[in-house]
Amino acid sequence: MSRLKTEPPAPVRTLEELFAIAHAMEHEAAVRYAEIAERMAHQGNPALADVFTRLSTDEQGHLANVAHWSERLRGAAPNPALIRWRAPDTFDDEGASTTDPWLLTAYRALAMAVRNEERAFAFWSYVAAQAGSPEIQHAAEAMAHEELGHVATLRRERRRTFHATRAEAGSDAANAGPVQDAASLERLLADLLDPLAVEAPHAGRARLKAFAEEARRHALELDRSPISTPASSLLPALPASAVSLAELLAERYLDAADSLRDEGELARVQALAGRAVARLAWLRSDLPELEGAWQSR
């Protein structure tokens, strides 16, 4: 289960403060998921926009429940002015607000939501343990129980999504869908970089050629010693942008490194990840400028 970075800094003193904290947490999650949904829709990924919209709607429902509970027990809506300290972070978008939309999947979005709910459960468990009165303890335990229910619901949905993704991946393989092993992705990246190098101004041409050659060397190495690609990370279609593909490769290497225990293999994949991240940083910052330069000629 996901852990908090820090524990609550002080006990919650009143029910009014507890409701205010709960309201603030649910509000942040609802707003952040809605923002990501808007970005997904704006950048052309309506399927992911629907997932994040649903997550935001769920959080808005939780928000309404907290407000109703506060009004029923204390006769007033939650008051944010009653929060005495900044609550530990329980929401983490794990890069979804900046990652290329085509590199996200429904499974990854739901996995992120599960971890956020787990951190919220841990937070309320700490509040209950620190409570100075039975009233605060019971309310915090009820909040924790609610979050655990959300975890269970999202885990079931994530599991269904995983199995659906595996079935789709099997169908894609049977119908000659996109090959997504790292070696093939490196070759595809090289093929995308070659024409960019030809068109690039002199300042960027050598760097792009070097990246294309490096990608082909990586592909040969990965042919000899492949790394595994989880079914849940497979995409229905591969990005046509060199920057997006470079980001996908960096994520694949970092994800693979997280699951490795063999020190030699870990060092190899970490080296690939390091080169991929360096490549991505350069492409992100300089490729749009180069493209603008040669398009204006």
Per-residue model confidence as pLDDT tens digits over 255-294: 788 777 888 888 898 889 888 888 887 888 777 655 544 4
Domains contained in the chain, CATH given: 15-174 (1.20.1260.10), 182-295 (no CATH)
Tell me the per-residue pLDDT of 129-186, one tens digit each, with 9 for 90 and over. Answer: 999 899 999 999 999 888 888 888 888 887 787 777 666 655 544 444 466 888 999 9
For residue 230, the model assigns a pLDDT of 66
Burial class (CB in 10 A: 0-12, 13-18, 19+), 165: buried
Q: Say which DSSP state 88 is in.
A: P
Burial class (CB in 10 A: 0-12, 13-18, 19+), 86: exposed
Q: What is the mean pLDDT of residues 244-256?
A: 84
**Residue type, position 103, single letter:** L
For residue 118, the model assigns a pLDDT of 83
For residue 200, the model assigns a pLDDT of 78
Q: Which residue in this structure is represented by tokens 């996109």? A: 178
For residue 66, the model assigns a pLDDT of 93
Q: What is the mean pLDDT of residues 41-55?
A: 86
Tell me the per-residue pLDDT of 197-218, one tens digit each, with 9 for 90 and over. Answer: 888 777 678 889 999 999 999 9
Separation CA 122–CA 160 (nearest Å): 25
Burial class (CB in 10 A: 0-12, 13-18, 19+), 167: exposed
For residue 185, the model assigns a pLDDT of 92
Element holding 186 (H helix, E strand): helix 182-199
8 Å CB contact between 237 and 178: yes
Separation CA 79–CA 84 (nearest Å): 11
Tell me the per-residue pLDDT of 51-106, one tens digit each, with 9 for 90 and over. Answer: 899 999 999 999 999 999 999 988 999 999 988 888 767 888 877 777 777 777 78
Tell me: pLDDT of 295 over 50. Answer: no
Q: Which residue in this structure is represented by tokens 């942040």? A: 28
For residue 189, the model assigns a pLDDT of 94
Separation CA 277–CA 217 (nearest Å): 16
Q: What is the mean pLDDT of the chain?
A: 83
Separation CA 67–CA 106 (nearest Å): 30
Q: What is the mean pLDDT of residues 4-21?
A: 85
**Residue type, position 293, single letter:** A
B/e letters for 201-218, b = 16+ CB within 10 Å, e = fewer, are: eeebbebbbebbebbbeb
For residue 136, the model assigns a pLDDT of 93
Q: Which two tokens stand for residue 250?
A: 């960096």
Tell me: pLDDT of 242 over 80. Answer: yes
pLDDT category at 188 given cuts 50, 70, 90 is very high
For residue 225, give the nearest of 191, 272, 288 by alpha carbon: 272
For residue 63, the model assigns a pLDDT of 92
Q: What is the mean pLDDT of residues 96-117?
A: 80
